[in-house]
Structure 1
Amino acid sequence: MAATSNPGEVPARAKRADALRNERTLLAAAAAVFVTSGVDAPIREIAAKAGVGMGTIYRHFPTRADLVVAVYRHQVEACAEAGPALLAEADSPFAALRQWVDLFVDFLVTKHGLANAMQSDNSGFEALHTYFLDRLVPVCAHLLDAAADAGEIRPGTQAFELMRGIGNLCIGHDSDPRYDPRRLIELLLQGLRLV
């Protein structure tokens, strides 16, 4: 069913379920390639990972910036949706927080190349950053509150501070293979624990 938001506007056509599934598969493949090879990875590498032709990628995302922004939004949504799911499935709220932080780190590794890929579109980058904060800070806060309520971590850690600290630890990951931010992030998480 088509929806119209304003009179006189052409109705927007909803994507078919299989088209959405294919797009999600393509975005997940692109995200995985961006984590290992950076946002400048060849499109053919992304196409091979997704099991599609390069034309399919260009049909959905005419420019690299379009693809990077779509991956960014896809990963933000995946992180946002993962929080409650992990909390429901994990052995403990702290275990859910740790698993969520792993997803967040994967996202951050991809995100670092976003500014370069978008080049001069500062307003677009800022809008994405606001979207990122609006979607993920509440999820992180919920995980922290659950772990504090369960007596697993000290209360009072602010989600924004934790996310910013993790983000700062991820800087430089791609420029020095000797640096592993995940090890330091694990130390940071252990520092939140009640002994």
Structure 2
Amino acid sequence: MSTGTGRPLRADAQRNRDKILSTATRVFAEQGLDAHLEHIAKEAGVGTATLYRNFPTREILIEAAYRNELARLCDAAPGLLAALPPREALRDWMGRFIDYATAKLGMAEALRAVVESGVNPYAHSREMMLEALTSLMDASVTAGTIRSDISATDMFAALTGIALASGKPDQRAQAERLLDLTLDGLSTNRK
């Protein structure tokens, strides 16, 4: 991450920024637009001046928190493929997708306010997720562990459906079962 001047952030400044973003995601998901920025700063363990230096407005913070969650999801794919067999990497990413969707659903009211301000935080979101999902599915097809006749677009639709049906935190066990069922449906070992 860099500053507006193109210089990279100091390590402590990057840590503070990361803490603010993860805290903001959680607090906006829990409290929506009622969340106070001062509360987010306190929960993140930073001063309000640090929060406002990084994110001068509520809308900028909401958009940055959403984009941070999206980047974390999409950027996880290569690391998962490097660390796990392809099918396990795909399943891990599917769980992360539900985490992302749960946060996004919780932040819906706050994200609507950002859209109403004229900013589109969703620009390129679908394409980024499809790219990550395609890499995971292609690796699994190459490994012979999932069918080749299901596209990443179809899988994305299935994951979105699971997130909409079971995306609340108290529905996580159901979401996990549905993810397993979906992955089993992709299996090349089906009878």
Q: What does 1:98-117 align with in structure 2 at a 5 Å threshold?
A: 98-117=91-110
Query: Residues 58, 121 of structure 1: CA spacing in aligned structure 2 closer, same or farther, 3 A cutoff?
Result: same
Q: TM-score, normalised by structure 1?
A: 0.77
8 Å Cα contact 1:144/1:157 also seen in 2: no
Listed one character per residue, the Cα deviations across residues 50-109 of structure 1 (whole Å, up to 9, x for unaligned) are 22234432332233332221011112211222101100001x101001111111111111
Listed one character per residue, the Cα deviations across residues 21-65 of structure 1 (whole Å, up to 9, x for unaligned) are 321232123334455x25445545533442223443233223333
SS of match in other structure, 2:123? helix
**Aligned residue number for residue 45 of structure 2:** 51
Query: Residues 182, 43 of structure 1: CA spacing in aligned structure 2 closer, same or farther, 3 A cutoff?
Result: farther
Query: Residues 176, 79 of structure 1: CA spacing in aligned structure 2 closer, same or farther, 3 A cutoff?
Result: closer
Aligned length: 182
Listed one character per residue, the Cα deviations across residues 97-129 of structure 1 (whole Å, up to 9, x for unaligned) are 11111111111111224442132725633xx33
**Aligned residue number for residue 14 of structure 1:** 7
Query: Residues 138, 14 of structure 1: CA spacing in aligned structure 2 closer, same or farther, 3 A cutoff?
Result: same
Over the aligned positions, Cα root-mean-square deviation in angstroms equals 2.9
Query: Residues 45, 120 of structure 1: CA spacing in aligned structure 2 closer, same or farther, 3 A cutoff?
Result: closer
Q: Which runs of 5+ in 2 are unaligned?
A: none
8 Å Cα contact 1:39/1:110 also seen in 2: no
In the TM superposition, residue 171 of structure 1 has moved relative to its aligned partner by 1.7
Q: Could you say which structure has the higher helix fraction?
A: 2
Establish whether residue 68 from structure 1 lines up as the match of residue 62 from structure 2.
Answer: yes
8 Å Cα contact 2:87/2:146 also seen in 1: yes
2:158 to 147, 165, 187: 165
Query: Residues 39, 168 of structure 1: CA spacing in aligned structure 2 closer, same or farther, 3 A cutoff?
Result: farther
Query: Residues 34, 120 of structure 1: CA spacing in aligned structure 2 closer, same or farther, 3 A cutoff?
Result: closer
Q: What does 1:1-195 align with in structure 2 at a 5 Å threshold?
A: 12-18=5-11, 19-34=13-28, 37=30, 39-40=32-33, 41-43=35-37, 46-90=40-84, 92-117=85-110, 118-119=112-113, 121=115, 124-125=119-120, 128-171=121-164, 173=166, 177=170, 180-195=174-189
Query: Residues 96, 74 of structure 1: CA spacing in aligned structure 2 closer, same or farther, 3 A cutoff?
Result: same
Q: Which runs of 5+ in 1 are unaligned?
A: 3-10
Q: TM-score, normalised by structure 2?
A: 0.78
SS of match in other structure, 1:14? coil
